[in-house]
Structure 1
Amino acid sequence: MPTDTKRVRGPEVSQSPSLYFCRPAAAVPLHGPRADGRQRDQVDVRPVFVRCGLVSQAKGSAYIEAGNTKLMCCVYGPRETERKDETDMKCGRLTTDMRFAPFSCPERGSWIQGSQDKDLSLMLHESLHPAVCLHKYPRSQIEVNVMVLENSGSVLAHAITCASLALADAGIEMYDLVLGCSIRQDGDSYMADPSYIEENNCSSVSSGNQGGLTVAFLPSLNQISGLQSDGEMTEETLTDIASLILPSFTTP
């Protein structure tokens, strides 16, 4: 009997997809140590691993791991601007693109850039732009591409750090490196470098004072280059969180 060569034959033995479903995540504890052993109300971040120069095709590249959060950044340029109407004779142009791999999140996504990717790309651009000496590269553009390989929380903060290291690896002149840090406020307590579960769950009984804050900081110049917050927090809470984050950058 002839077979259909265009049809992909499935395996003879198969198992139910429900066997591969992830178990529901446990609730974030109200008090005591966090799920990974770190402490609340302390600037206690996950161990970080960084390596530069992994992608030979790019001018500069960097890879960063923070816990289970994994990102890769590639920098291309400076090179001639593709669109002549966007050419600036006095300074260069910085473009950023941040995307999530389809397998990076618990819920599988698509390769098409969504609204979240566009928002994060804009925030990444706003954080890096003040640190790059664009006046050194007139009529040129520098492209920064970040790919999130695994999202385990605080992706924007680690993307800022990873992109800054990739720019330095590419030999781009900068005023200072840009470091990112994020904190999740949960009622009266806060969690530094929150995980994916901590970012998407609120353990506090009250609905007020819930939100997150991501700061991009230039440690040598002692300046903030980017600030992004979400949720509902009072002005005093935002001020207290910022005062907790900034000293951690300058601590040797």
Structure 2
Amino acid sequence: MAADRKRVAGPETSVAPLVEYPIDHQPWTPFTEKRHNSHRQPEDLRPIYLKTGLISEANGSAYIELEKTKLTCGVYGPRPIKRAGQGFSDRGTLNCEIKFATFSCVKRRGTMRDAQEKELSQILSQGLTPAVRLELFPKSNVDIYITVLESDGWGSCVAAAFTVASVALAHAGIEMLDLVAGCSASYVPTSIPSNSNSSSSSTTESSTGAGSTVTPQIFMDADLEEEKYQQGSIVLAYMPSLNQTTHVLQTGKAEGSIISQSVEHCVEACNKIFAVMNHALLESIDQKKL
């Protein structure tokens, strides 16, 4: 039987690389420092790099980078629906698919789409559909393919997917009511609960347990290290010009005041992201004129 020379199989057993830390190195915890990145305040976002026109074969494309979070998106269509048995529809359909690269996460992802990726694809479709004028292209389909090249936090990855997909749709010339900006916030306790033990393991358990009495602090655009200590999180998809929310994804438990405050912070952050999105689209127009 001939060997498969086109596929590079990884080793059956592997070990983590050896990283040498200083002798006085201490792992980050929210109880000793405010944020994993000492230069960021709780309300600060990571710097955003947004570029259009990455995929030449697609009708529209965009690339977004937030430090260690990197996503690329390609939009194809509108094109006729070719599925057999599909009846007439006076509105177009929006098909979203998100795929994590095998090397994008700390734990290696599979090559086939798993349940989490299918769930995220449905969430993206629900959040982007209200912004697209699907009534303008009946019996047609718009396909959105998002690839996560590197993920540094689940909430920031989903929020970045909303942003990059919206910019790619606009770059493809799909008529929209407004751009959709995504933002995430995490509820992280920054002090040790009164009922915690002295050990670090019990501290982590008590900070997320039911007996915790500490009011968590809102960390905007939390990274992977900060998400390890979060009690909950929220991802908001928002249309800044229309002042309308298209999707809210809430996980974990938190008081109503914390949730409402995090929504207000996310709306303010989406307005800032909206300016970056507009700038990226204006740059793409200037490049076409050249």
Other structure's SS at 2:149 match: strand
Instruction: State the 1:31 CA deviation.
Output: 4.9
Question: How far is 1:53 from its partner?
Answer: 0.7
Judged with a 3 Å threshold, the aligned counterparts in structure 2 of structure 1 residues 93 and 22 are, in CA distance, closer, same or farther, namely: farther
CA distance in 2, matches of 1:243, 1:218: 14
* Between 162-171 and 31-40, the greater mean CA deviation after superposition: 31-40
Counterpart residue number, 1:12 = none
Match of 1:30 in 2: 31
149, 157, 160: which is aligned to 2:159?
157
**Structure 1 letter corresponding to 2:68:** N
Taking the aligned partners of 2:130 and 2:234, their CA distance within structure 1 comes to 19
What letter is aligned with 1:121?
Answer: S
Q: Is the 8 A contact 2:35 2:42 kept in 1?
A: no
1:174 is matched with which residue: 154, 173, 176? Answer: 176
| 1:192 is the counterpart of 2:220 | yes
Identity %: 35
CA RMSD of the aligned region, Å? Answer: 2.4
Could you tell me how far apart the structure 1 residues matched to 2:19 and 2:96 are?
33
Work out the CA distance in 2 between the residues paired with 1:89 and 1:101: 34
How many residue pairs get aligned? The number is 233
**Aligned residue number for residue 103 of structure 1:** 103
Gaps of 5+ in 2: 6-12, 190-215, 276-290
Give the Cα separation in 2 of the matches to 1:139 and 1:7. Answer: 41
Judged with a 3 Å threshold, the aligned counterparts in structure 2 of structure 1 residues 21 and 149 are, in CA distance, closer, same or farther, namely: farther
Give me the whole-angstrom Cα distance separating, in 2, the residues matched to 1:23 and 1:32.
22
Residue of structure 1 in register with 2:285 after alignment: none
**1:109 shift after superposition:** 1.1
Give, in whole Å, the separation in 1 of the partners of 2:235 and 2:245.
11
- 1:1-252 alignment to 2 at 5 Å? 17-18=14-15, 20=17, 26-42=27-43, 44-153=44-153, 154-187=156-189, 188-199=216-227, 201-202=228-229, 210-250=231-271
**Is the Cα contact below 8 Å between 1:40 and 1:190 reproduced in 2?**
no
Distance 1:249 1:91, change over 3 A: same
Closer, same or farther in 2 for the Cα pair 1:28/1:119, shift >3 Å? farther
Q: Report the Cα distance in structure 2 between the residues aligned to 1:134 and 1:59, rounded to whole angstroms.
A: 17
Distance in 1, Cα, partners of 2:32 & 2:40: 9
TM-score by length of 1: 0.85
SS at 1:167's partner residue?
A: helix
Per-residue CA deviations over 1:172-211 (Å, capped at 9, x if unaligned) read 0000000000001113211110112222x117xxxxxx10
More helix by share: 2
Q: Using the TM superposition, name which of 242-251 and 181-190 deviates more.
A: 242-251
Distance 1:145 1:6 in 2: 32
Q: TM-score, normalised by structure 2?
A: 0.74
